[in-house]
Amino acid sequence: MRLNNYIGGSWQEAGGADYTAVLNPANGMELAQVRLSTKEDVSLAVKSAKEAQRKWALVPAPKRADFLYEIGRLMKEKKEHLSQVLTKEMGKVIEEARGEVQEGIDMALYMAGEGRRMFGETVPSELQDKFAMSVRAPIGVVGLITPWNFPVAIATWKSFPAIVAGNTFIWKPATETPMMAYEMALIFEEAGLPAGVANIVFGSGAEVGTAMIEHPDVRVISFTGSTETGRHVAETGGRHLKKVSLEMGGKNAVIVMDDADIELAVEGILWSAFGTAGQRCTACSRVIVHTDVKEELEQKLVEAMKVLSIGDGLDESVKIGPVINKKALDKIHGYVGIGKDEGAKLLAGGNILTAGKLADGHYYEPTLFTDVKWDSRLAQEEIFGPVVSLIEVSSLDEAIEVNNSVKFGLSSSIFSRDVNKVFRAQRDLDTGIVYVNAGTTGAEIHLPFGGTKGTGNGHRDSGVAALDVFTEWKSIYIDFSGKLQRAQIDTD
Ligand code: NAD
């Protein structure tokens, strides 16, 4: 199977000479081939998106929303198929894949609703017989650059608000996960989305991503990926005065206080640390535990980790799938080595798994370190794999300080039954998302999603806040006095 670009409503072969193979991380089997695109392919896509946008912006928003309702309906109809492709391509276990596809469906319906809201403001004018209001205006052609770990959900968080607001888009999916983008293109086509509203260009970040950011007709770049790449995107975008929205890495922590329900905390940690094999931007990578419950938590975590089943995510009984590729596997194992060198104590895991069929894929054993120093590399850097570090603290203040000590600011969580501690924590934890008595993952699509510090640059995906990325505020003054009234002139 060879995947072609989707440009201007038709399937077009990319101009690059090279193909890349899409491999199933669970077993190394080839799933598809993709021809890499060039700068010229991007220009073609931008041209078609620009032409389409003029008409699309004039379609009433509730009518634009009708396409989203249809896209949501089709996604629902194909949910099992999409989930299976997602698991094969990305590796996450099938129940998580179904959850991710459902997020996309929810986003379609939620953003379709915005077609009948998209509120602006009407405010009194300071002058007689004058009317003042603000409206959200579309921006034009927007560029979407997405990572492999949520190949559908993140694309829907970006593309659905973009189109309901009257923009058209070029989407460059991650090179590891083009098949989900291809599946979405089929759905856009079947939903009858006018040609040129949705464009998908496959290719590398360096060639296609850069061409999108530098193209003068792409007005917004919405990026999700690593902090390293995001910085580069922001620098390049900044030079071209682009509006750049960045959602980047994380080093998220669960705080377990001395009054916590430990069983619940264990469940929350397991799910948010080892779900998606730790490859979520919101994955729990640190556990900040109060001295009085440290030993109990360690024992219970080690016990609970023993029963986690690892394997191909298509097997319904498997809880942890593979990591995305060999490079990721080596990076994770490298961090385990760093942890040992730094003097952290390995309580469980720490190995690349190669027994039987696991040797064909990229599997890492769920890993738990304790006695980790808060300022060590293990505790500060994003690993993006199933590795958790326990850090001991003796008070809530210290826990918050340790949580906030990292350069990222995506998600945090606290397990405590003391309402005073909980309220102080939700105020003082410096992340964009805070959970109480739950792990660090589990965002809902109708709330803003994003982070502070090295995780973001002030924008948000998801929720109504996503519309801020894809619209400009336009202030409109209508004078019906029949004479020239001069505002900003002090007549007193
Ligand atoms: P990545 O930064 O390697 O790639 C992300 C996207 O950027 C890909 O499409 C890639 O092709 C593209 N890209 C690479 N180089 C580029 C360049 N020079 N110019 C333009 N585009 C370029 O990230 P990844 O490995 O795909 O994803 C994992 C990272 O994403 C982790 O750091 C994770 O925390 C982060 N992430 C963040 C969020 C969030 O919402 N905060 C969500 C999911 C993932």
Ligand 1 neighbours, Cβ below 6 Å, are: 145-150, 154, 172, 174-175, 205-206, 209-210, 224-226, 229, 232-233, 247-250, 281, 382, 384, 410, 451, 455
Torsion of CA 460, 464, 470, 472, to 10 degrees: -110
- Closest ligand 1 atom to Cα of 227: 32
Point out the catalytic residue in the list 70, 176, 247, 392. Answer: 247
Give the position, in ligand 1's atom list, of the atom nearest the Cα of 324: 25
CATH code assigned to 252-436: 3.40.309.10
**The length of the chain, given as a count of residues:** 492
Asked about 228 being catalytic, the answer comes back as no
Q: Is 70 a catalytic residue?
A: no
Q: Assign 347 a pLDDT band (cuts: 50, 70, 90).
A: very high
pLDDT in tens, 19-64: 899 999 999 999 999 999 999 999 999 999 999 999 999 999 999 9
Residue identifier of the C-alpha nearest atom 35 of ligand 1: 225
Q: Which two tokens stand for residue 66?
A: 């009708």
Question: Separation of 288 CA from ligand 1 center, angstroms?
Answer: 27
Give the separation between CA 5 and CA 181, rounded to whole angstroms: 10
Give the ranges where 78-138 is alpha helix by DSSP (H): 79-90, 94-114
CA of 229 to the centre of ligand 1 (A): 6
User: Separation of 318 CA from ligand 1 center, angstroms?
Assistant: 27
Query: What spacing in Å lies between the alpha carbon of 98 and ligand 1's midpoint?
Result: 22
Runs of H (alpha helix) within 191-261: 210-214, 227-239
Which residue, judged by its Cα, is nearest atom 31 of ligand 1? 226
Q: What number does the ligand 1 atom closest to the CA of 174 have?
A: 9
Please say if the pLDDT value at position 13 is more than 90.
yes
Q: Give CA–CA dist 6/13, Å, rounded.
A: 9
Q: Among 39, 42, 90, 149, which residue has the most ligand 1 atoms within 8 Å of its CB, making it the best to mutate?
A: 149
Angle value at C-alpha 90, between 409 and 410, nearest 5 degrees? 5
Whole-number Å distance between alpha carbons of 317 and 25: 18
CA-wise closest residue to 43 among 241, 242, 216, 197: 216
CB atoms under 10 Å from CB of 202, counted, come to: 26
Q: Which helix (H) or strand (E) holds 285?
A: strand 284-290
* Mean pLDDT of the chain, nearest integer: 97
Q: Hunting for tokens 């989930």 — which residue is that?
A: 83
147 CA distance to ligand 1 centroid (A)?
A: 5
| Residues 65-90 pLDDT 10s | 999 999 999 999 999 999 999 999 99
- CA terminus-to-terminus distance, the chain: 75
Average pLDDT over residues 86-110: 98
Q: Tell me the C-alpha distance between 281 and 296, whole Å.
A: 28
Domain boundaries, the chain: 2-248+456-476, 252-436
User: How many angstroms separate the CA atoms of 48 and 362, rounded?
Assistant: 40
pLDDT, tens digit, 9 for 90 and up, residues 414-468: 999 999 999 999 999 999 999 999 999 999 999 999 999 999 999 999 999 999 9
Question: Do residues 142 and 470 make contact, with C-beta atoms less than 8 angstroms apart?
Answer: yes
CA 249 / ligand 1 centre spacing (Å): 9
Residue 492, pLDDT above cutoff 70: no
Is the separation of the CB atoms in 320 and 386 below 8 Å? yes
Taking 70 as the threshold, does the pLDDT of residue 221 lie above it? Answer: yes
Q: Whose CA is nearest to atom 37 of ligand 1?
A: 248
Whole-number Å distance between alpha carbons of 371 and 377: 13
Average pLDDT over residues 92-97: 98
Whole-angstrom distance, CA of residue 370 vs CA of residue 389: 6
pLDDT band for position 351 (cuts 50, 70, 90) = very high
C-alpha pair distances (Å), 275 with each of 227, 345, 441? 22, 23, 9
pLDDT of residue 490: 66
Q: What is the pLDDT of residue 68?
A: 98
**Looking at the predicted structure, is the pLDDT value of residue 285 above 70?**
yes
Q: Hunting for tokens 């986690």 — which residue is that?
A: 308
> Torsions phi, psi of 421, nearest 5?
-65, -40
At 491, the pLDDT band (50, 70, 90 cuts) reads low
Residue of 224, 323, 383, 457 to test ligand 1 pocket, by largest number of atoms within 8 Å of CB: 224
Which of 369, 371, 368, 346 is CA-nearest to residue 291? 371
Task: Indicate if the pLDDT at residue 487 is higher than 80.
Answer: no
CATH of domain 2-248+456-476: 3.40.605.10
SS3 277: helix
Q: Calculate how far, in angstroms, residue 242's C-alpha sits from the geometric centre of ligand 1.
A: 18
- Using most ligand atoms within 8 A of CB, pick from 145, 154, 221 the residue to mutate for ligand 1: 145
pLDDT band at 488 (very low <50, low <70, confident <90, very high): confident
Are 339 and 372 within 8 A, CB to CB? yes
- Cα gap 217→215, rounded to integer Å: 6
Nearest CA to ligand 1 atom 23: 225
Residue 127: exposure state from Cβ atoms within 10 A (0-12, 13-18, ≥19): middle
Q: Which of 89, 176, 207, 281 is catalytic?
A: 281
Cα(225) to centroid(ligand 1), Å: 2
**pLDDT tens digits along 149-161:** 999 999 999 999 9
- Could you give the percent of the chain with pLDDT greater than 70? 99
Please give the Cα distance from 261 to 254 (Å, whole number).
13
What is the reported pLDDT for 287? 98
